Structure 1
Amino acid sequence: MLSSSASFDQNLILTGYLGPLQMPIARRTAETLRMRFVDFESRLEDHAEMPGEEVRALYGESRLKTLEDELLSEIALYRGALIAIGGETLMRGAYDMLHTTGPVICATASVDAVLQRLHLALGARFHDPRERDLALGKVRREWSIRKNPDVLVVDTSYLNDAQMVEAISARWREAATVIDWRGV
């Protein structure tokens, strides 16, 4: 007999900072776990027909929040999906809706690892203190979700891409108490 927490239809809500290859790593994790991949930011752009920042600039924060809530209402119905979503979005109310569908995992890294990944992502712009501060501020905001006691943390500091995929997958398997019926 399976308990409700041993369900194979648990989602994986993935947030945090993995570096410049964040979406490919999230996508490979979904493939490894044989889950549907949902990139919240891309879905929001499709839904709004423009980037979220543009919605905020043109129509204000309340319109952006309304669009996010509409999309979250749909995504909250998904099962067996890896949902890649920003920590800021989770902090603005999405957490309450999504954490009931599966474990929330926040990818973290040491400051050294983050700086190295930012250097790779920003290139020459990394040497501009303003650009670097903006990028670090975004990472800090992403990680603010860790204050919630139910958020699981995976330290990716010294992991390569394949190891990140495996670490996130293993943490989800453990937290979701998934019986290995699909070989995931």
Structure 2
Amino acid sequence: MPVEPPAPSDEANIVLTGFMGTGKSTVGRLVAERLGRRFVDTDALIESRHGSIPRLFADHGEAHFRQLEREVADELAATSGAVVATGGRTMLDPANQATLGATGIVVCLAASPEALITRLRDEAGQRPLLQGDDPAGRIAALLAEREAGYARFPQVSTDGRTPEEVADAVIALATGAP
């Protein structure tokens, strides 16, 4: 069942979710700039406090990293008027959905598996969830696993669009503009 977003307002956060490589950070910065809002990237915030994500996964495991995501979501839930780019799985966690999702509209950036494979090809070694011999197969498996979770949120496709075009679509969705 889709998550009902709150009514658009200047105070509501705009939270971007979606699979890795969909452009959440790039688009989030553009949306924040255009709306004169603060931009927060949850992965960058975690890295600034705890070190690189690949190192966190290697040293402490995925469960530890997911706990750090929950802590950041709880912290950001106390803010308003921000544009927040989340990690690819952050908003699929029911706790994060409840806390951070209640602060504004959550928009899911989407891309086809082919587009994601192209975008992530050179980064597979730096993405803990894509490690191994078959990053393309891993992308397909993760997308299938997350499909229902992402479908709960309004979608903006990034395929064949510039970051500026995607930002325009996110702003229109978040502000209720035609």
TM interval, shorter chain, is: 0.7 to 0.9
Query: CA-to-partner distance for each residue in 1:138-161, whole Å, 9 max, x for gaps?
Result: 54556543243xx11112333222
Structure 1 residue 122 displacement after superposition: 1.5
TM-score normalised per structure 2: 0.75
Higher-Rg structure is 1
Q: Which residue of structure 2 aligns with residue 56 of structure 1?
A: 57
Instruction: Name which of structure 1's ranges 72-81 and 132-141 shifts more when overlaid on structure 2.
Output: 132-141
Q: 2:13–2:104: 8 Å Cα contact kept in structure 1?
A: yes
Q: Does the 8 Å CA contact 2:38/2:81 hold for their aligned counterparts?
A: yes
Question: What does 1:62-101 correspond to in 2, within 5 Å?
Answer: 62-92=63-93, 93-101=95-103
CA distance in 2, matches of 1:6, 1:168: 12
1:105 aligns with 2:107: yes
2:10 matched residue in structure 1: 8
Letter paired with 1:101: T
Kindly indicate whether the alpha-carbon contact (under 8 Å) linking 1:87 and 1:144 is maintained by their aligned counterparts in 2.
Answer: no
Q: Which runs of 5+ in 2 are unaligned?
A: 1-5, 125-131
Which sections of structure 1, spanning at least 5 residues, go unmatched? 178-184
Q: For 2:148 and 2:70, locate their aligned partners in 1 and report how far apart those are by CA, in whole Å.
A: 20
TM-score by length of 1: 0.73
What count of residue pairs does the alignment treat as equivalent? 163
Structure with more of its chain in helix, by fraction: 1
Counterpart among 145, 149, 161 of residue 149 in structure 2: 145
Q: Percent identity?
A: 24
Alpha carbon RMSD of aligned pairs, Å? 2.9
